[in-house]
Amino acid sequence: VSGKIGVKNQGDRAAFDMAMLEALPQHSFTTRTPWFDKPVKFTGPLLADVLAAVKASGNTVGAVAINDYRISIPVADARKYEVIVARLIDGQPMPVREKGPLFVVYPFDSAAELRTSTFYERSIWQLKALDIQ
């Protein structure tokens, strides 16, 4: 995590390993997505908790995937919805070939407004970095 953050542990950024993400409060929800043929249970810390852990102060999260796909996520989304930085899918770690090891996921089944291309595009898999602006 880089950008407008108040807590850093690696130069000008905050680096998380899986154990650090596991140490944050864990949340789960089961939701339908465009990428799986049945509802899937996602588990991990809330994006809001990750942002709080680094004392993020920006309004936008620039999320970057392993393949350099980039998307902007409003920080307000993390507050309004229970967006998870999923590290488990149906209780199992996600290998890279199955969208892992981290997947930002919205609880699509919790509100009709979330079942649109806008929110599907913000659900970035193979997450490698967050930049707070």
Q: Each residue of 45-98: pLDDT tens digit?
A: 999 999 999 999 999 999 999 999 999 999 999 989 999 999 999 999 999 999
Residues 35-42 have a mean pLDDT of: 97
Q: What is the dihedral of CA 76, 131, 115, 49, to 10 degrees?
A: -60
Q: What is the pLDDT of residues 10-34, one digit of tens each?
A: 999 999 999 999 999 999 999 999 9
**Ramachandran area for residue 117 (φ above 0: left; ψ -120 to 50: alpha; else beta):** alpha
Q: Residue 57 has what pLDDT?
A: 96
pLDDT of residue 4: 97
Compute how many other C-beta atoms are within 10 angstroms of the C-beta atom of residue 42.
24
> What is the value of pTM for the model shown?
0.95
Residue type, position 117, single letter: S
Cβ distance 24 to 1 under 8 Å? no
pLDDT at 68: 95
Of the candidates 1, 31, 26, 23, which has an alpha carbon nearest to the alpha carbon of residue 114? 31
* Tokens linked to 45: 């810390």
**pLDDT tens-digit series, residues 105-131:** 999 999 999 999 999 999 999 999 999
